[in-house]
Chains A and B, each alone.
Chain A
Amino acid sequence: MNQKFLKKKFYLYYLNPKIDFPSRYERREYAFIHFGEETMHRHISFNAKEKLLDYLKVNVPMHSYYSSAYYQNPSADNMNEKKWMGADLIFDLDADDLPSADKLTYEEALEKIKRELMKLLDFLIEDFGFDEKNITVYFSGHRGYHCHVTDKRVLELGSQERREIVDYIMARGLELKEIIKERPIQKGKFLDKTLEINPEKGGWKGRIARAIIKFFKEIKEMEREKALQELEKIHGIGRKMAEKIYDVLHDERKIERIEEGKIDQATEFKKIIKPLIKKIAISLYSQTDEPVTADIKRLIRLPGSLHGKTGLKVTKVSNIEEFNPLNDAVVFGDDMVKIKVEKPFKIKMKEEKYELKKGIVKVPEYVAVFAIARNFATHS
């Protein structure tokens, strides 16, 4: 019943869908999951755009995917015969992989993953130097974003090389002593160490330095008690150490040295760096082995297709700050539909708040599709 309702609605969309065809679309493998089926229809290719549109119209898939890779024979059923030619670099940021995923509401998760996306874009543009016109962001249709990089220089990178890019943005394998120099200095009888930082530098070197300076500024501007509390939140810093750091930040002579990029009392200050790195890096803890993808042959949702578990469209995002999936990825109309709510839920769609309790209610079509696809309600 539910599946039938969704399929009917999807069909109406696929009569005239807004598909963004992937570049070199004829070289890609396509894969679909149909309503009422579990297995994936794979190894499909299309040599004309109309044929793909026909497929969608005739089969009305619940989920539609294409390969990030280009193949000589995209419809061959094994890798050897497919003959890999290259692949886009794709980052798949999914809220399910956030550290506290299960405690977040749908909207909170979307908002959080957006923060990660902003960090990712900053890495891609500032550090990796990709041109913005070679980066496209899509809302995944569910709880995440896909970021496609189509720069020709990345197409032929192998999986190990891609993994280096992933490690970079997640700060995996980052070795502080390779990045920040520690110089031993004589201090009276003792040997102390000085950290050397330089905010002008590229890569993590500069990023960490800028984060340290920003953090110092914030601490310095706080009242003493608040600053100490803030410092004590950091693992390994107790009251005494917090006081020491706070005092250094209010010592003019020492501030001058910090501005020159030299931080004395390395032991204390190094404790601050770890949490700062965590804040800068993309933090996703995926259940599978790959949080963001290094795979050179993965399947990715077809832009413009519908996600079978939400009814939302895989939508191109042009203004990330303003993008609101529950508004901008909605394709269905507002005719009123009767549904039977099985699991109460709250959602804000198209600027309208819905708080649905168990029982039969009348809601706009787009809310109905979303609720039924998410298994919160049944069609009645």
Chain B
Amino acid sequence: MDLFKIAKYPFIEEAKEWVRKEKIDVEEILFDGIYERARNRGVERVMQALYKGIINDAILLNEVDCMMEVLSYPIARMLVVAIESDYLLRRYALAEAKKAYENMKRDSPEIIIEIGKEFGIEFKDGCIHFTDYLKFAPTWDIKWKLVNRELRQGYVRLDKNEIARLLQEAIRKKIYDELSYLFAPQEVKKVFKEEIIAIRNKIALKERKETEKYEDINFEDFPPCIKNLISAIKSGINVPHVGRFTVVTFLNAIGQSTNEILKIFSSIPDFNEEKTLYQIEHITGKISGTIYSTPKCDTIRTWGLCYPDELCKKIWHPLIYYRKKRRK
């Protein structure tokens, strides 16, 4: 058992295996003074997820460091579940996944493949099967669209960092899904009483900020492409990824909040709130740092989503259309 490995990737099967073998039970982790370091680090994991969106690596010098690090992971999970906030859950799952991503980038390809196999990903000469690729790739991003990838005999060629990026999504999804249907033991609420209150307050503050009213937005001023897409989405027609992407970037650019954007998508046939929210937050830069800009008319045209009217002839970007209309 490589303790250093499971300290870096505490979500893998091997880590669970190790905890089982060491026969450490929940009671001990929560109350035994010897694990105080692990408890502190567990709280830190959640705090960093909330405040910074990523969890910093701990310094791992010896086996005890590793042990504490491994145990801090289930503690953090229990804490997140005890707080009962979907916002935190999403942020936490992503922060853990990002931490793993940073580690994988520095690690050997063998480790990446090993982790990939845990998610049922098929590897062949460093390439992965396109069905696995599609499950995890952020294909709303033009450079991740399958059409722009080297696909041969069913396998997509990716470099090491790209595979790590796909795994980040797989890890995030796994953690989110697991924690969504778990309940925290009562003791957790007692042990971390103060932390739970502090974190809940912080979350309330953050959420309030996000739902603050933006200026009135007039649907009638939208360019026809966006209008068409929004009505299609609202009437339950399955709109292509690029179309959804365009709508999100547009609404974000004119100052719509994440929640308002989310509302529009709630009627799509395969609506998945968690996934949609994640995509919106990614596109709008809330979690990725990059704010994707609204595609220009040329691009929208090549996607077959352009239905021009008179004003469209004079402009090259949907946002210009909107601004011109507003000025009138």
Q: Interface of A with B (CB < 8 Å)? A: 126-130, 153-154, 157-161, 163-165, 167-168, 171-175, 178-179, 201-206, 289, 294-296
Given A128-B130, A164-B134, A164-B139, CB of A203 within 8 Å of CB of B152: yes
B13 interfacial contact with A, CB 8 Å: no
Whether the Cβ atoms of B304 and A294 lie closer than 8 Å is no
Question: Given A161-B134, A163-B240, A295-B238, does the pair A174, B147 have CB atoms closer than 8 Å?
Answer: yes
Known A164-B134, A167-B240, A202-B157: A173·B270 in contact at CB below 8 Å: no
Residue interface mask B279-320, A partner, CB < 8 A = 1 = 000000000000000000000001110000000000000000
Tell me, in angstroms, the Cα distance from A321 to B146 when the chains sit together: 29
Task: Select one of A129, A159, A167, A294 contacting B147, CB under 8 A.
Answer: A167
The 7 closest A-B pairs by CB, nearest first: A129-B154, A202-B152, A129-B153, A161-B134, A178-B148, A203-B150, A203-B151
Q: Which residues of A contact B142 (CB under 8 A)?
A: 173, 175, 178
* Interfacial residues of chain B within 131-161, with CB under 8 A of chain A in the complex: 131, 134-135, 139, 142-143, 145-155, 157
Q: Does B269 contact A (CB under 8 A)?
A: yes
Note all chain A residues with C-beta closer than 8 A to B232. Answer: 289
Instruction: Tell me, in angstroms, the Cα distance from A171 to B149 when the chains sit together.
Output: 11
Of the residues A127, A160, A168, A171, contact of B241 by C-beta under 8 Å: A160
Chain B residues within 8 Å of A178, by CB: 142-143, 148
**Chain A residues near B105 (CB-CB < 8 A):** none
CA distance A175 to B296 in the complex (A): 14
- Distance of A157 Cα from B270 Cα, bound (Å): 12
Residue of chain B at shortest CB distance from A296: B270
Q: Once bound together, how far apart are the Cα atoms of A160 and B238, in whole Å?
A: 9
Cross-chain contact B151 with A202 (CB below 8 angstroms): yes
B1 to chain A, nearest CB (A): 33
- Complex alpha-carbon distance, A126 and B151, angstroms: 9
- Inter-chain contacts of A160 with B (CB < 8 A): 139, 241, 270
CA distance in complex: A180, B141 (Å): 18
Q: Which of B129, B131, B157, B269 has the most CB of A within 10 A?
A: B131
Decide if A163 touches B153 in the complex (CB within 8 Å). no
> How many Å from the CB of A69 to the closest CB on chain B?
13
For residue B145, which residue of chain A has the nearest CB?
Answer: A173
List B contacts of A159 (CB < 8 A): 238, 269-270
Known pairs A159-B238, A159-B270; A179 contacts B151 (CB<8 A): no
B145 and A126 contacting across the interface, CB-CB below 8 Å: no
Question: A-B contact count, CB below 8 Å?
Answer: 95
Of residues 55 through 80 on chain B, the ones whose CB sits less than 8 Å from some CB of chain A are none
Q: Which residues from chain B contact A175 at a C-beta distance below 8 Å? A: 142-143, 145, 148
In the bound complex, residues from chain B placing their C-beta under 8 Å from that of A179 are 148
Given contacts A172-B147, A202-B153, 13 further A-B contacts (CB under 8 A): A127-B153, A128-B154, A157-B131, A160-B139, A161-B134, A165-B134, A165-B146, A173-B302, A174-B148, A175-B148, A179-B148, A203-B150, A296-B270
State the main secondary structure of chain B at its contact with A.
Answer: mixed
A-B contact pairs, 22 of them (CB 8 A): A127-B152, A127-B154, A128-B154, A129-B154, A129-B155, A164-B134, A164-B145, A165-B146, A167-B146, A172-B242, A173-B242, A173-B303, A174-B148, A178-B142, A178-B143, A178-B148, A201-B152, A202-B150, A204-B147, A206-B150, A289-B238, A296-B270
How far is A167 from B137 in the complex, measured between Cα atoms in Å?
A: 15
Q: Does the CB pair A168–B135 fall under 8 Å?
A: no
**Chain B's nearest CB lies how many Å from the CB of A30?**
22
In the complex, chain A residues whose CB is within 8 Å of the CB of B145: 164, 167, 173-175
Chain B interface (Cβ < 8 Å from any Cβ of A): 129-131, 134-135, 139, 142-143, 145-155, 157, 232, 237-238, 240-242, 269-270, 302-304
Cα A160 to Cα B146 in complex, Å, equals 12
A173 closest partner in B (C-beta) = B145
Partner of A173, one of B129, B147, B237: B147
Q: How far is the CA of A179 from the CA of B146 in the complex (A)?
A: 11
User: In the complex, A78 Cα to B314 Cα: how many Å?
Assistant: 46
Tell me, in angstroms, the Cα distance from A126 to B242 when the chains sit together.
Answer: 26
A208–chain B nearest beta-carbon distance, Å:
11
Contact partner of B151 among A157, A168, A173, A294, CB < 8 A? Answer: A168
Which residues of the other chain, B, contact A157 by a CB distance below 8 angstroms? 131, 134
B293 to chain A, nearest CB (A): 15
CB distance from B42 to the nearest CB of A (A): 35
Measured CA separation A366–B49 after assembly (Å): 72
Instruction: Name the residue among A154, A201, A204, A295 with the largest chain B CB count within 10 angstroms.
Output: A204
Assembly CA distance A128 to B241 (angstroms): 20
Chain A's closest residue to B134 (CB) is A161
Nearest residue in A to B151 (C-beta to C-beta)? A203
CA distance A205 to B157 in the complex (A): 12
- Expressed in whole angstroms, the Cα–Cα distance for A259 and B302 within the complex equals 31
Instruction: Give A357 to B135 CA distance when docked, in angstroms.
Output: 57
Are the CB atoms of A289 and B242 closer together than 8 Å? no
The answer to whether B139 touches A203, judged by C-beta atoms less than 8 angstroms apart, is no
In angstroms, Cα B237 to Cα A171, docked, is 22
